[in-house]
Amino acid sequence: MDIKNFMSTKEYARTLDQQDVLVSYREEFYLNPGMIYLDGNSLGLLSKRAEKSLMRSLEDWKRFGINGWMEGAEPWFYFSERLGELSAQLVGAAGDEVIMSGSTTANLHQLAATFFEPKAGRNKILADELTFPSDIYALQSQLQLHGLDPATHLVQVKSRDGKFLEEDDIIAAMNEEIALIVLPTVLYRSGQILDIERLTKEAHARGIMIGFDGCHSIGAVPHWFDKWEVDFAFWCNYKHLNGGPGCVAGLYVNRKHFDKKPGLAGWFGSRKDKQFDMEHSFTQANSAGAFQIGTPHILSMAPLLGSLEMFAEVGIEQVRSKSLRLTKYLMDLIESELSDYGFNIGSPRDESKRGGHIILEHKEAARICKALKKEAIIPDYREPNMIRLAPVALYTSFQEVFETVQVLKKIMDGRLYENYENKRGIIA
């Protein structure tokens, strides 16, 4: 399906849905009647398969008790590795280079503790000023643990316009003082995709380790971490991968680092046949599994199994193809229908630079988001003036995108946003 001869009509949206090869997957999700859900970049919806895989693990607990670690539909002792293998095709890696473990920030702490090895003259970390705050907190903390001042040893590349990053500016900051680089794959506000391959090549040419936060891309954008020789990556699984609130996170470690001792060791990083020897000498797994710390949260991982089965069927390339069509259609509608209302699209038009969501900027953004929710359309808000809209390939229809823009027009025509205070809620 290709979006050509654009028309701002419901009939055209229906035609696009009729041509959609992924339309049947809408039936896999619990969609609330009358609601349009465009916040999958914060929390994906529950699928029937995710529910089923969760109930299967509960049944194993009910039936087997502690024996569920080695018996049942999915023995828990190998569950993290099983999910890692299923996730590997999403990031362009081998199955043993990916593991499900911890949370996004805990995994960053693990990886920074492992790969940040400051030496005299090379003891700084490079990040950027637009990245998600939790990453900055973790990197500041890691520097402090080494007795280094974050004010001088955390270098944050500046944005020229407050929305996007220039790869040239990042590369210019890769000097001889930088020991580690941590960057987002996709900027959480604007949705800009960074050139991971180029940045990795430039870092390695200078002898610098580099890793990426994939929270806003994994499950929406294909990656090839092995081919690009990325050192490590980490991400959450509750956004585009629909693993459920607080779902266990993922991490990738390139196999060339399998012999590297984890900065934060724990017993689930042990080689499987040695873990229950209970020795006080650590025999680490020869895989990404070595970077696990504690016992995996089985019931927080279980829904991910059902979700990943769908991604294995569809393939990330098909997901990406539809995602790009959805976001392009949304931007075309915004430009066609909302050009007179003070909106600005704050995401890249170039599809090679655009992730799975778009930013719609407006001075009344917080109020408009509240008005949208009153109309049963679920976006999210980011300071200072950004409405994030994420049409998700597996469950958002083109007609829903069309209807969203019509509702936005209704809100602006009727000044319905004036019923609300222009400030975010406790959770934006």
Confidence (pLDDT) at 333: 97
Model confidence at 428: pLDDT above 80? no
C-alpha distances out from residue 172 to 2, 128, 199, 321, 353, Å: 39, 13, 11, 33, 20
295 among the known binding-site residues? yes
Model confidence at 426: pLDDT above 90? no
Split at pLDDT 50, 70, 90, the class of 45 is very high
Confidence (pLDDT) at 3: 56
Order of strands, sheet of 380-382, starting from the edge strand that comes earlier in the sequence: 344-345, 358-361, 386-389, 380-382
Strands (E), 246-293: 250-253
> 10-18 vs 398-413: helix axis angle to the nearest 10?
160
Confidence (pLDDT) at 422: 87
134 among the known binding-site residues? yes
Confidence (pLDDT) at 4: 61
CATH number of 10-30+315-419: 3.90.1150.10
362 among the known binding-site residues? no
pLDDT in tens, 281-323: 999 999 999 999 999 999 999 999 999 999 999 999 999 999 9
- Give the number of residues written for the chain: 428
- Provide mean pLDDT across the span 114-119: 98
pLDDT in tens, 133-150: 999 999 999 999 999 999
End-to-end CA distance of the chain: 35
Model confidence at 69: pLDDT above 90? yes
Split at pLDDT 50, 70, 90, the class of 87 is very high
Confidence (pLDDT) at 173: 98
Handedness of CA 203, 208, 213, 218 (dihedral sign): positive
Confidence (pLDDT) at 6: 81
Give the domain ranges of the chain.
10-30+315-419, 51-313
Model confidence at 424: pLDDT above 80? yes
Q: Is the pTM of this model over 0.75?
A: yes
Mean of the per-residue pLDDT values of the chain:
96
Per CATH, which fold does 51-313 belong to?
Answer: Aspartate Aminotransferase; domain 2 (3.40.640)
- Provide mean pLDDT across the span 346-364: 97
Split at pLDDT 50, 70, 90, the class of 208 is very high
104 among the known binding-site residues? yes
Taking 3-state DSSP, the helix, strand and coil percentages for the chain, each rounded to the nearest 5, stand at 45, 15, 40
Model confidence at 232: pLDDT above 90? yes
Model confidence at 1: pLDDT above 60? no
132 among the known binding-site residues? yes
185 among the known binding-site residues? no
Alpha-helical runs (H) found in 94-245: 104-115, 133-145, 150-153, 167-172, 196-205, 225-228
Confidence (pLDDT) at 7: 83
114 among the known binding-site residues? no
238 among the known binding-site residues? yes
Confidence (pLDDT) at 345: 97
Residue 325: both structure tokens together = 């069509």
61 among the known binding-site residues? no
Model confidence at 92: pLDDT above 60? yes
Confidence (pLDDT) at 17: 97
